[in-house]
Amino acid sequence: MNCYDCCHLKFDNKKNGKVNGALYYCPKIKKYVYGNGESCEKYQYDNLRKTYIKDQIYLDGKNYSDDDTSFFSYVIILILIITIGFVIKLFGY
């Protein structure tokens, strides 16, 4: 029982991630939720929604990523951490 099965989840009201995936709006808890998230206490099974739509909601929630930081930025941060580590080891702290 996940959010993608709930009748309250609005399929047409979604917030796309910057990289991929999407969040869907739930009016019962008044916020955007992952489609693959655990259901809440207001969960009600939706037997009218098609299986392929449920699968799409689930996969959008599973693949949601809003991080648009480039790979190069992470490499620079890693190099800085390694350099600081060598300097600390060199001076014996």
Q: What is the pLDDT of residue 93?
A: 67
Torsion, CA 74, CA 79, CA 84, CA 85, rounded to 10: 100
Classify residue 82: in a domain, yes or no.
no
Classify residue 56: in a domain, yes or no.
yes
Q: Using DSSP, state whether 5 is helix, strand or coil.
A: helix
Q: What is the pLDDT of residue 70?
A: 83
Angstrom distance (rounded) from CA 24 to CA 39: 13
Classify residue 86: in a domain, yes or no.
no
Range of the domain at 24: 3-67
The number of folded domains in the chain is 1
Classify residue 17: in a domain, yes or no.
yes
Classify residue 23: in a domain, yes or no.
yes
From first to last of the 93 residues of the chain, give the pLDDT tens digit.
777 788 888 888 888 888 888 888 888 888 888 888 777 788 888 888 888 888 888 888 888 887 778 889 999 999 999 999 999 988 876
CA pseudo-torsion sign 87, 88, 89, 90: positive
Q: What is the pLDDT of residue 85?
A: 93
Classify residue 91: in a domain, yes or no.
no
